[in-house]
């Protein structure tokens, strides 16, 4: 399987090439040359598989340059009960008597859904770098959970350094402590004076400097990395197959969304043939995606207009993975995507209203909703009272939007809400909602009091480059 850029151009190589490269040379994102199709017979057979074996079946067609037995070993090394604290890896829990389900994705090392893909990336990086006798310097940006998931996955990995940008003062105390308490020679935390989009822009700017990227072996673990999207697609298959329904019956999903990577993985699974119905995008007050799916205009927000909310991992003014979605609805037209991004840079928006592309959006089964601070507090409180289940504020955004959708549209389809993190990562908000602190795994006792290892930088590309050069 070869990969191409969302903005056109020559082949980017095979899986291992795009795993290590991050952004394409033209600034686009890697996409497979075709979407693999699976049948209902495949799904019926996969229903009996372990999570690791399911991951192998879903990902194998896209990873043709790793020998089959080596890939099988990687996924079995990744998806283990002792890592994810559950034999199911991603358990599906029914909430009460409703056809409402919670897909538990936060039982891994960092207590967030990012572990589901990041643990795979860690082992895949280690394997490929050893095979190629190379090193890599991972440059990433996080709004909260990607950072700790990436760093936990890369601790102790040979030939890997991590440089992780986060918005200074904009993560929860627990999220900051998870990252900044790590004292490892290959982990470098950078708190940037700015918002997440500033961090993301710097990552893209470094990647756009081909000479610097080549000289310093810069790679990526953000959701711009295709391997993360591919690994995330697996748990949509797992969730569907865990339901007691006939193969082919549609199932709706609702996903808290900021950077669009998590729900794009669901769209990928749907394009492969998984019988998903509606794909609900749940946003917080930073509702760029909700605005698009409601009105047809993708309008990015400047840093100053990105609100600081109680679901901070979704405080994002532009969604990086949205480009992959536009690539697919354009009919894999890289030239069209490049034209859209030129318009985005000039005007700050892409307007699809009145075009055939907007019709393609409207028939792609996406819908959206928006949640506010008051609504997520109420959802946390009511979910705890009704189902005896504490959820974090991002998951609450998803549950709220899912419940609104079910209330307004008559449907008998099961609805799966994707959990994003354990509530302990957002203790202050949970206490505000229910009056008590969420439980905390023993391994994270008093983590906020641990010594911190972080450098604060201005939002300056040259300063970031100098920082990296001094440490590689």
User: 248: exposed, middle or buried (C-beta count within 10 Å: 0-12, 13-18, 19+)?
Assistant: exposed
Pairing of the two strands 415-418 and 100-103 = parallel
What is the Cα–Cα distance from 315 to 195, expressed in whole angstroms?
8
DSSP state for residue 421 in the 8-state scheme = B
Catalytic choice (77, 114, 204, 238) = 114
Residue 318 catalytic? no
Decide if 165 contacts 220 (C-beta within 8 A).
no
Torsion angles phi and psi, residue 244, rounded to 5 = -90, 70
* DSSP string of 259-310, one letter each residue: SSHHHHHHHHHHHHT--EEEEEEEE-S--HHHHHHHHSEEE---GGG----S
Angle among Cα 17, 19, 20 to the nearest 5 degrees reads: 70
What is the Cα–Cα distance from 202 to 462, expressed in whole angstroms?
10
Pairing of the two strands 187-192 and 160-167 = parallel
Tokens at 222, concatenated: 């953000």
Decide if 147 contacts 179 (C-beta within 8 A).
yes
Q: Which residues are catalytic?
A: 114
């Amino acid at each position: 399987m070869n990969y191409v850029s969302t903005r056109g151009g020559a082949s980017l190589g095979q899986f291992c090439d795009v795993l290590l490269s991050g952004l394409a040379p033209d600034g686009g994102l890697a996409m497979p040359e075709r979407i693999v199709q699976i049948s209902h017979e495949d799904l019926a057979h996969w229903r009996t598989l372990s999570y690791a074996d399911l991951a192998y079946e879903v990902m194998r067609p896209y990873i043709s340059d790793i020998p089959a037995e080596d890939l099988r070993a990687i996924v079995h090394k990744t998806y283990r009960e002792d890592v994810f604290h559950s034999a199911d890896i991603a358990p599906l829990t029914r909430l009460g008597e409703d056809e409402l389900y919670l897909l538990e994705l936060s039982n891994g090392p960092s207590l967030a859904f990012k572990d589901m893909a990041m643990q795979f990336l860690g082992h895949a990086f280690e394997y490929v770098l050893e095979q190629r006798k190379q090193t890599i310097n991972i440059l990433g940006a996080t709004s909260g959970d990607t950072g700790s998931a990436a760093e936990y996955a890369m601790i102790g990995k040979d030939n890997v350094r991590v440089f992780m940008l986060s918005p200074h003062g904009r993560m929860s105390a627990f999220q900051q402590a998870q990252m900044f308490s790590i004292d490892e020679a290959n982990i470098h935390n950078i708190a940037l004076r700015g918002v997440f989009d500033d961090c993301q822009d710097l990552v893209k700017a470094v990647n756009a400097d081909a000479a610097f990227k080549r000289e310093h072996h810069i790679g990526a673990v953000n959701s711009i990395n295709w391997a993360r999207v591919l690994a995330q697609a697996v748990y949509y298959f797992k969730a569907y197959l865990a339901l007691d329904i006939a193969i082919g019956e549609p199932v709706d999903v609702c996903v808290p969304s900021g950077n669009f990577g998590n729900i794009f993985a669901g769209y990928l699974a749907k394009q492969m043939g998984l019988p998903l119905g509606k794909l609900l995008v749940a946003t917080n007050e930073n509702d760029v995606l909700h605005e698009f799916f409601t009105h047809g205009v993708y309008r990015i927000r400047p840093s100053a207009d990105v609100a600081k909310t109680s679901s901070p991992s979704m405080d994002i003014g532009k969604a990086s993975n949205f480009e992959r979605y536009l690539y697919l609805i354009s009919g894999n037209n890289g030239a069209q995507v490049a034209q859209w991004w030129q318009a985005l840079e000039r005007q700050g928006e892409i307007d699809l209203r009145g075009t055939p592309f907007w019709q393609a959006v409207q028939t792609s089964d996406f819908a959206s909703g928006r949640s506010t601070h008051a609504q997520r507090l109420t959802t946390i409180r009511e979910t705890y009272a009704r189902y005896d289940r504490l959820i974090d504020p991002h998951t609450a955004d998803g549950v709220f939007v899912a419940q609104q959708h079910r209330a307004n549209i008559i449907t008998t389809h099961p609805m799966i809400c994707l959990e994003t993190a354990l509530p302990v990562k957002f203790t202050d908000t949970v206490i505000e909602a229910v009056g008590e602190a969420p439980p905390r795994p023993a391994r994270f006792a008093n983590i906020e009091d641990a010594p911190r290892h972080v450098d604060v930088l201005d939002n300056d590309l040259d300063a970031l480059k100098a920082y990296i050069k001094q440490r590689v």
